[in-house]
């Protein structure tokens, strides 16, 4: 999965998490948060590669296969969450009280769509 696609999902996860938090604070039905949780789980699963392990693989081979498959995906996911956190933290540190976290994430999403983060895996 390309970096931009991972970033879109990271932004989606953070946006959905904010919606879940708002719903909880408003005392809305928990059914909505269960739906939100399933959306978050789906987006996380989409970012992880499928791993094929031979039936006769040793535990060491399984560990190697899992590490080699998950390593790059997790590194890209962490980079995406770090970028989102940094964007939110910079807005906070600049004292931008006129912009919400949702708006910061939306701006980041527009930058991703514009191709600002297309390079790399």
89-121: pLDDT as tens digits = 999 999 988 998 989 999 999 999 898 877 655
> Model's pTM, two decimal places?
0.77
pLDDT digits (tens, 9 = 90+) for 27-55: 876 555 566 678 888 999 899 999 999 99
Mean of pLDDT values over 54-67:
95
Quick one: pLDDT at residue 27? 83
Residue with tokens 């919606």: 19
Say what the pLDDT of residue 94 is: 92
């Amino acid at each position: 999965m390309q970096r931009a696609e991972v970033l879109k999902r990271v932004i989606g996860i953070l946006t959905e998490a904010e919606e879940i938090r708002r719903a909880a604070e408003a005392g809305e039905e928990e059914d909505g948060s269960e739906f939100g949780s399933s959306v978050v789980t789906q987006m996380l699963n989409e970012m992880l590669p499928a791993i094929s392990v031979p039936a006769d693989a040793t535990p060491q081979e399984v560990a190697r296969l899992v590490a080699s498959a998950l390593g790059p995906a997790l590194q890209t996911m962490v980079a995406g969450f770090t970028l989102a956190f940094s964007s939110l933290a910079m807005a906070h540190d600049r004292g931008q009280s006129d912009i919400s976290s949702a708006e910061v994430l939306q701006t980041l999403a527009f930058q991703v769509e514009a191709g600002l983060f297309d390079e790399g895996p």
